[in-house]
Amino acid sequence: VVCLCIFILDFTVKSYLIGWEEFRMNKWLIGYIVVITASVIDWMLSVSMACNENLRVRRLIRPFFLLQNSSLMKKTLKCIKKTLPEIASVILLLALHLCLFTMIGMLIFSKSDDPKKNGEWETYFKNLPKSLSSLLVLLTTANNPDVMIPAYSLNRGYSIFFILFSVFGTYLLMNLMTAIIYNQFRGYLLMSVQTSIIRRRLGIRAAFEVLCCPGRGHTSTQSEVAVNMFLQVMDRVHMKSYCRQAIIKAAQQFPDGFINGEAFQRLFNELDKDFMKEHPPKPEYSSPVLQLIQCIYSHFYITVLGNVVALANVICICTILVLNSEKSASEKNNFYMEILNCIFILYYLIEMLLKIVAFGWRGYLSYRNNIFDGFLTVLLLAIQIAIFITDLVPRHVMALWEMVRLVNMLIVFRFLRIIPEIKLMAVVASTLVDLVKNLRAFAGILLVVYYVFAVLGTWLFQGAITPPSNMSLISDSSTENKTGGPFSMDCGTFEQLEYWPNNFDDFASSLVLLYNIMVVNNWHVFTDAYTRYTTEWSLVYFVAWWLTSSVMWVNLFVALILENFTYKWDRSNALSVEDVERIAYQSTVQLIFREHVQEPTEEELLAQLQQHPHLHLSW
């Protein structure tokens, strides 16, 4: 009720502010009121039934509130919508390929008079639905080579059918789909970025006209903005603080105190950049000892030495783990491992303290690697002290071993400090960071898709598969004929593999099951089980999820990773390892496509300003 009231208030304010004319043209606001109305009606029905009903429509439409509140998600959704026709053409070609080979397969592997030669027909090509599902799974390679073994055992020539199907379907059509999705979606995203750039340039040009000519008529080529007036406005503008400081600093560089139109546009290029923190100066010491420590521990070779020590620590842990791999917790001798951990932790602590002396507190914390190393060092020291205290008092062996194991995991995790020091690894790591930072809209839409399919799966299949109460009474052969039910203990089935936790009994398990199907390994096990326990129409749900997640969304994500990584790699070729981190300063979505974006001309901007309904300028 509280959430719905907030949404109603939000809708009312937005509708009032934009007016009725704009409201009628805004499909998202119209959808907003429809979804709110449906949610309120559904809530009232739930209350009238004392919340005992199982089907709640508002759960399915709830993601709309997430989508309509993010302009970037709306833009991404629009790009996906425009990409769907091209994807649909390849899916149609894929369907024709599947149907063609299904017909050929049913002709080749028809039922024979000799029961010994009916293995392929009985298992995979008994009827049309079974043949389609068998080849659909083969398209994802999840049942390869199982699907051809019965026929291949009779004649090696049968392998040609399955190889041709995989070559044309898996390696040609599926990769062609990836290429089409990459090309088309990239084009629509580029168009979206182009529109965003034009809108920003138009807004900046309008601000320039307002600041330089309040009511005075003159040509735009003679217009200039006073720096003092610009700074007064910037003090009241809402934007990120580091962007404001960078723009103000750039504006103060004009010696004559006036800014022309071209320079005014360039000032706002800082909005495309992320904050790059400058390192504070090193402290100055009069003591020769402190100066020597500062000289040594601010050198790059100390970082290399630290990486070598971290590598040696990991190698020691691996050696001890191999020696103790078959011993239980009570049989393991932790003495040598604790001694080694103490020595390495002591080195990490000394390294941290001497680096603090060399750079100062602020300088030490200005480096991300130092924050990472320092946090883990303090945590390792605290756990090691707890281990010493545990050694002095009666304790349970398992608790001590758990703490030692935690120390070892943190030490292994600390070895990640080596990533920024290797150029290729640094580019890959920064690409992953940029994906998280700049592609949040894709993650949001993927979350919506997961949510909708999980809710649908819970509605359709909740309680459909329940594990037997006594597994010891089940034999290793199929019991379908004995029990009259769908239960099967054949090798590779849902029951034989004990996939019981993979179900739609609740929302969390539904998400895990959908993820397992998206990975496509053994996804035919789930489809087979649910077709046996429910109906063959359940296959429609699973195929729809496979097309949405594995075919379309994974390919979209691969395309965007390629675009981001290619951009970062091209820019990093001329940089050193130390400068790779600075690439992140110019890696927003707009700048990834900057080379392909066309800047609007002065005439185009002025023409749009003259036609703007809310801006009245006299030239």
Query: Residues 27, 35: contact at Cβ < 8 Å?
Result: no
Q: Is 497 helix (H, G, I), strand (E, B) or coil?
A: coil
* Residue 293 domain flag: yes
Domain co-membership, 114 together with 173: yes
Q: How far apart are CA 159 and CA 49, in angstroms?
A: 59
Ranked by mean pLDDT, the top range of 170-174, 259-263, 372-376 is 170-174
Question: What pairs with residue 225 in β-bridges?
Answer: 259
Token code pair at residue 562: 């390629």
Domain co-membership, 309 together with 400: yes
Domain co-membership, 13 together with 85: no
Q: What domain range is 524 assigned to?
A: 432-585
Residues of the chain with pLDDT > 70: what percent? 79
Which pLDDT score is estimated for 200? 83
Domain co-membership, 437 together with 581: yes
pLDDT band at 259 (very low <50, low <70, confident <90, very high): confident
Average pLDDT over residues 239-262: 81
* Residue 520 domain flag: yes
Domain co-membership, 478 together with 517: yes
Which pLDDT score is estimated for 481? 43
Q: What angle do CA 32, 37, 41 make, to 5 degrees?
A: 150
Whether this model's pTM surpasses 0.85: no
Token code pair at residue 425: 């690894």
Which pLDDT score is estimated for 196? 75
- Among 192, 226, 248, the domain-final residue is 192
The per-residue pLDDT of the chain, averaged, comes to 78
Would you list the DSSP string of 563-586? HHHHHHHHHHTTS-TTTGGGGGGG
Residue 146 pLDDT exceeds 90: no
Taking only the tens place, the pLDDT of each residue in 537-581 is 888 999 999 988 888 888 777 777 776 666 666 655 555 544 544
Q: How far apart are CA 275 and CA 329, in angstroms?
A: 49
Beta strand 224-226 pairing with 258-260: antiparallel
Token code pair at residue 557: 């994500």
Task: Provide CB contacts within 8 A for 212, sequence distance 6+.
Answer: 223, 224, 225
Query: Residues 538, 549: contact at Cβ < 8 Å?
Result: no
Which pLDDT score is estimated for 476? 47
Four-residue CA torsion sign, 340, 344, 347, 349: negative
For residue 443, which of 563, 576, 561, 338 has the smallest C-alpha distance?
561
Domain CATH number, residue 577: 1.10.287
Average pLDDT over residues 513-525: 89
Taking only the tens place, the pLDDT of each residue in 287-318 is 888 888 888 888 878 887 888 888 887 888 78
Ranked by mean pLDDT, the top range of 271-285, 328-342, 441-455 is 441-455
Domain co-membership, 438 together with 576: yes
The end-to-end CA distance of the chain, in Å, is 53
Domain CATH number, residue 144: 1.10.287.70
Query: Directed axis angle between helix 2-25 and helix 27-48, to 10°?
Result: 150
* Residue 604 domain flag: no
Question: What pairs with residue 258 in β-bridges?
Answer: 226
* Residue 427 domain flag: no
Taking only the tens place, the pLDDT of each residue in 383-412 is 778 777 776 665 554 455 566 666 777 777
Domain co-membership, 43 together with 124: no
Q: How far apart are CA 203 and CA 594, in angstroms?
A: 19
Domain co-membership, 187 together with 235: no
pLDDT band at 583 (very low <50, low <70, confident <90, very high): very low
Amino acid at position 475, single letter? S
Element (H, E) at 259: strand 258-260
Which pLDDT score is estimated for 217? 42
Q: How far apart are CA 165 and CA 148, in angstroms?
A: 12
Element (H, E) at 421: none
Token code pair at residue 268: 């706002």
Residue 584 pLDDT exceeds 50: no
Among left, alpha and beta (phi > 0; psi -120 to 50; other), residue 522 is left
Q: What angle do CA 307, 309, 313 make, to 5 degrees?
A: 115
Among 8-22, 25-39, 262-276, 342-356, the least confident range: 262-276
Domain CATH number, residue 405: 1.20.120
Domain co-membership, 245 together with 337: no
> What is the domain count for the chain?
5
Residue 400 or residue 266, greater confidence: 266
Taking only the tens place, the pLDDT of each residue in 28-66 is 889 999 999 999 999 998 888 888 777 888 888 888 988
Domain co-membership, 346 together with 444: no
- Among 11, 44, 69, the domain-final residue is 69
Average pLDDT over residues 235-248: 81
* Residue 310 domain flag: yes
Q: How far apart are CA 176 and CA 162, in angstroms?
A: 20
* Residue 517 domain flag: yes
Query: Residues 476, 489: contact at Cβ < 8 Å?
Result: yes
Average pLDDT over residues 209-218: 61
Which pLDDT score is estimated for 395? 52
* Residue 519 domain flag: yes
Residue 454 pLDDT exceeds 90: yes
* Residue 575 domain flag: yes
Token code pair at residue 235: 């003090």
Domain co-membership, 459 together with 476: yes
Query: Residues 410, 379: contact at Cβ < 8 Å?
Result: yes
Domain co-membership, 448 together with 385: no
- Burial of 550 by CB count in 10 Å (0-12 exposed, 13-18 middle, 19+ buried)? middle
- Among 362, 386, 414, the domain-final residue is 414
